[in-house]
Amino acid sequence: MKNNTINKKEIEKFSKIAEEWWNPEGKFKPLHKFNPIRISYIKENIIKTFKLDQKKTPLKNIKILDIGCGGGLLSEPMCRLGAKVTAIDASQKNIDIAKLHSKKNNLKINYFCTSPEKLKLKEKFDVILNMEIVEHVDDVNFFLKSSSKLLKKNGIMFVATLNKTLKSYIFAIVGAEYILRWLPIGTHEWEKFLKPEELSSILKSNDLHEERIDGMKFNLLTDKWNISKDKSINYIAKFIKN
C-alpha cells in the first residue's frame, strides 16, 4: 500500500523557482493572470453552497484547506475574504516564502510543509482546494482519497487541472512552454493530465459527487481568463461530499 503522494522531482522543480512566486512578471506570471477567475469562482460557489451573506468578508469562519499552496497565491485572498485558512505544500521553500509573505501582510494563515496523507490535524474542513496540483503528484488516486478524508460531510472540494487531450498538449505544453515561453520547459507532463470523467470517477469512489465542471479559457485579446463551456484544455470542478 502506497503511503506517499510526494513526487520529489516535481518538488525540486518548483523549489528552484520558489523566490518567483510573488513576482507578477516572473515565472509564475500565468498563475497571476489565472488567479482572479479562480478566486471569484471559488468565492461565488462557496457563498451559493453554504448560503452565506455577501458582505465584506463573505467567507467568515469557513475553514479552507489549500493543498499544494505554493507561495500562497490563493491562500492569501481566501484569508482576506474572511476564511480560516490552513495551507500545505510539500516544498519547504514554498512554505517559507508563503509564511514570510503572509507575515508581511499581517495575514493569519496556518502553513505546513506536508502532503494530505501526512497532515495530522484533528479538524476537518468545509472546503478543500486542489488547484493545479493533481498533475504534479504521485498516485493521483491515493492523493484524492487522502484529500477527501480531510473534508467535512457536505463540504466542497474544488479541483482545477488540465484535460488530457491533443489540444491540451499543443496549447499547454508546446504553446505555453516552448513557443510563448509562458512557463519553464518541463512544467507539465501530458501523461499526468486528467480527463474530467477520470477525475469524477476517482472522487465518486471517495463519496464525492460532481456538482459542476467548467472550462477555463484564456482570451488573448483581453489578456484575461474566463469561465467557458470549453473544457478541452483547462477545467475547474466542484464536488460535494456525500
Digit-coded pLDDT (tens) for 136-158: 999 999 999 999 999 999 999 99
The reply to whether 1 falls in a domain is no
Among all chains, which residue has been given the C-alpha cell 463540504? Answer: 155
- Rounded to an integer, the average pLDDT of 21-29 is 92
Within-domain flag for 80: yes
In a domain, 175, yes or no: yes
pTM (2 d.p.): 0.93
Q: What is the CATH number of the domain that holds 163?
A: 3.40.50.150
Residue 2 is predicted with a pLDDT of: 62
In contact, 43 and 83? CB cutoff 8 Å: no
- Secondary structure letter of residue 169 according to DSSP: I
Q: What is the domain range of residue 99?
A: 8-241
Give domain status of residue 206, yes or no.
yes
C-alpha cell at 67: 493543498
- The structural domain count of the chain equals 1
Q: Is residue 44 part of a domain?
A: yes
- Cβ atoms of 128 and 67 within 8 Å: the answer is yes
pLDDT of residue 117: 96
Q: What percent of the chain has pLDDT over 70?
A: 99
The average pLDDT across 68-87 equals 98
The stretch 121-146 carries a mean pLDDT of 96
Q: Does any domain span residue 47? A: yes
pLDDT-based confidence at 1, cuts 50/70/90?
Answer: low
The mean-pLDDT minimum among 52-56, 60-64, 90-94, 180-184 falls in 180-184
**Alpha helical stretches, state H, the chain:** 8-16, 29-50, 75-80, 92-104, 140-149, 166-168, 196-204
Contact criterion met (CB below 8 Å) for 153 and 209 = no
Q: In this structure, is residue 236 part of a structural domain?
A: yes
3 in any annotated domain: no
Q: What is the pLDDT of residue 172?
A: 81
Q: What DSSP line would sit under 26-87, residue for residue?
A: STTHHHHHHHHHHHHHHHHHHHHHHT---SSSTTTT-EEEEET-TTTTTHHHHHHTT-EEEE
Most trustworthy range by pLDDT among 162-171, 184-193, 229-238: 229-238
Cα–Cα distance, 207 to 220 (Å, whole number): 38
